[in-house]
């Protein structure tokens, strides 16, 4: 009776609202940060790399849609993994990996914020760059403590502004695309294209945020699946068109020289200096908004995982009912990474982390297929897709960017050591 009553009320999040959450989560800092990398690595095949990433995201969205309907609640990914596999060392490692993946993503957004902000303000030099990176993290952290409600109220408007500007760039820019620049003869090898697709996968991270609102969604059994599929589908088309405009209007040399702010550069041929300024401003606003939202979510994710006993207990501490300990820890880690690791390595780390987590989410759907009314074929293909993508990313990193591979390995070792230490502390506490 409770569930039936809940699905009929009119006060919950609508289909459009849930879809906006997914689109806003994806069209954050990722596309601004990695578009240049995609265009440089894949060349004229950049649109294809986003299509491949979009297919894997859509397969995973299917698993999230099934799990969110079966287990509605604010816990999202953490809830699903623990519900299906139980709370143990393996699930603790994955939940911690999810938290650290958000921290890596936060670092990625802050670097993109600094890149576009530096170009917009004509600031040169390493010091200015690092000050912008640090300010882009610290100011949102302070806002999260002072007025989290303001962040929530303004996020919808920010999503509308950035999507509108991207659509404007696409509509105007498609007319100036040189079809000869999209010739398949200039595409790279299949392994390199697959690796590029997986580095781009971080631009799709965010659709899973719909799951966190599942308990508040109106008529959730129908609304959640539609919102997942609609948000991923819309963003995939958006990204493919943006990539076509970028590689179709800029030469390879222009893309390489403007790799850190490629989307703004792509707006110049059709909109001139105004286009560059408009997109750069949107990128600064968008990445700042994404940092805000990611800090907000990461701090609360750390609190949730700590409540499960899978992170140190101090992360459960609150000040003014807010998880300040988790926020401070997230901020410090993000500052260290953003100021010490290069953009390509950060992108690789973020994509690798989410591919592992999403592979497990697909595996959870496969394992609980009868309980969640899911197709084993689709969830199984999702597991395989994420796994193959992760392996391709690691092989490519070993060949072209060993530092990123070492960083990924170090991250996994850090997570494992942290989780084993926490379990050891809990075991000693239980014995005493």
Confirm if 157 and 164 have CB atoms less than 8 A apart. Answer: no
Query: Measured in whole angstroms, how far is the alpha carbon of residue 10 from the centre of its chain?
Result: 30
Secondary structure percentages of the chain, helix, strand, coil, to 5: 85, 0, 15
Cα separation, 48 vs 46, in Å, equals 5
Residue 345 has pLDDT above 70, yes or no: yes
User: CA angle, corner 183, sides to 182 and 186, nearest 5?
Assistant: 105
Q: Which residue, among 133, 265, 249, has the nearest Cα to 181 in the 3D structure? A: 249
Q: What angle do CA 83, 294, 311 make, to 5 degrees?
A: 45
The closest alpha carbon to 309, from 414, 423, 420, 212, belongs to 423
CB contact burial 103-133 (16+ within 10 A = b; e otherwise) = bbbbbbbbbbbbbbbbbbeeeeeeeebebbb
**pLDDT category, 4, cuts 50, 70, 90?**
very low
pLDDT in tens, 234-267: 999 999 998 898 888 887 788 778 777 787 888 8
Predicted local distance difference test score (pLDDT) of residue 195: 75
Q: Which CATH class is domain 13-370+383-431?
A: mainly alpha
- For residue 33, CA distances in Å to 224, 286, 340, 355 come to 28, 11, 16, 18
Q: What are the domain boundaries of the chain?
A: 13-370+383-431
Q: Residue 152's pLDDT band (boundaries 50, 70, 90)?
A: low
Q: Which two tokens stand for residue 146?
A: 């002072």
| Main-chain dihedrals φ then ψ at residue 84, nearest 5 degrees | -85, -40
Q: Which of 380, 348, 340 is nearest to 363 (CA)?
A: 380
pLDDT at 59 over 60: yes
Share of the chain above pLDDT 70, in %: 84
The per-residue pLDDT of the chain, averaged, comes to 80
**Contact between 126 and 132 (Cβ < 8 Å):** no
- CA–CA distance, 369 with 61 (Å, rounded to integer): 15
Q: Which two tokens stand for residue 249?
A: 């209007």
pTM comes to 0.80
Residue 215: Cβ-neighbour burial (10 angstroms; 0-12, 13-18, 19+)? middle
Please, are residues 13 and 220 in contact by the beta-carbon 8 Å criterion? no
C-alpha 369/C-alpha 363 separation (Å) is 9
Who has greater pLDDT, 100 or 133? 133
Q: In angstroms, rounded to a whole number, what is the distance separating the alpha carbons of residues 422 and 412?
A: 15
**Radius of gyration (C-alpha) of the chain in whole angstroms:** 21
Burial 279-306 (b: 16+ CB within 10 A, else e): bbbbbbbbbbbbbbbbbbbbbbbbbbbb
pLDDT of 33: 75
Q: Look at the block and give the residue holding tokens 């790279």.
A: 188
Q: What are the DSSP calls for 279-299, one per residue?
A: HHHHHHHHHHHHHHHHHHHHH
Q: What pLDDT score does 431 carry?
A: 46
pLDDT of residue 9: 44
Beta bridge partners of 319: 322
The HSE-up count of residue 389 (CA atoms within 13 Å, CB side) is 32
Residue 95 tokens read as 């939940």
Q: Say what the pLDDT of residue 5 is.
A: 42
Distance CA 153, CA 21 (A): 13
Query: Is 25 in contact with 293 (CB distance < 8 Å)?
Result: yes
Closest C-alpha to 363, from 90, 103, 72? 90
And the tokens for 1? 């009776």
Which stretch of 11-20, 105-114, 119-128 has the lowest confidence by average pLDDT?
11-20
């Amino acid at each position: 009776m409770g569930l039936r009553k809940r699905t009929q009320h009119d006060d919950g999040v609508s289909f459009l609202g849930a879809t906006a959450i997914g689109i806003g989560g994806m069209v954050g800092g990722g596309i601004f940060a990695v578009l240049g990398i995609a265009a440089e690595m894949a060349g004229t095949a950049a649109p294809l790399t986003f299509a491949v990433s979009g297919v894997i995201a859509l397969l995973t969205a299917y698993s999230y849609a099934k799990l969110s309907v079966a287990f509605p609640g604010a816990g999202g990914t953490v809830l699903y993994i623990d519900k299906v596999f139980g709370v143990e060392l393996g699930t603790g490692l994955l939940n911690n990996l999810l938290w650290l993946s958000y921290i890596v993503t936060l670092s990625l957004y802050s670097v993109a914020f600094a890149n576009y902000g530096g170009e917009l303000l004509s600031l040169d030099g390493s010091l200015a760059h690092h000050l912008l990176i640090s300010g882009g993290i610290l100011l949102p952290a302070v806002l999260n403590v002072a007025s989290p409600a303001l962040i929530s109220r303004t996020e919808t408007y920010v999503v509308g502004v950035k999507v509108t500007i991207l659509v404007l760039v696409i509509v105007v820019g498609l007319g100036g695309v040189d079809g000869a620049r999209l010739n398949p003869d200039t595409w790279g090898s299949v392994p390199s294209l697959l690796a590029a697709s997986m580095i781009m996968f971080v631009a799709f991270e965010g659709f899973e945020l719909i799951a966190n609102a599942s308990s508040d969604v109106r008529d959730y059994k129908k609304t959640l699946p539609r919102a997942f599929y609609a948000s991923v589908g819309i963003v995939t088309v958006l990204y493919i068109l943006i990539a076509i405009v970028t590689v179709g209007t800029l030469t390879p040399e222009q893309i390489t020289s403007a790799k850190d702010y490629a989307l703004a550069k792509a707006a110049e041929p059709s909109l001139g200096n105004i286009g560059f300024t408009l997109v750069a401003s949107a990128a600064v606003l968008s990445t700042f908004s994404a940092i805000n939202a990611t800090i907000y979510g990461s701090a609360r994710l750390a609190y949730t995982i700590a409540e499960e006993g899978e992170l140190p207990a101090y992360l459960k501490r609150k000040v003014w009912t807010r998880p300040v300990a988790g926020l401070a820890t997230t901020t410090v880690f993000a500052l260290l990474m953003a100021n010490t690791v290069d953009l390509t390595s950060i992108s690789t780390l973020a994509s690798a982390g989410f591919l592992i987590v999403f592979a497990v989410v697909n595996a959870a759907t496969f394992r609980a297929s009868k309980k969640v009314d899911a197709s084993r074929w689709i969830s199984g293909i999702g597991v395989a897709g994420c796994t193959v993508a992760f392996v391709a990313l690691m092989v490519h990193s070993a060949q072209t960017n060993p530092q990123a591979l070492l960083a990924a390995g170090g991250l996994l070792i850090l997570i494992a050591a942290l989780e084993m230490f926490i379990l050891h502390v809990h075991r000693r506490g239980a014995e005493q």
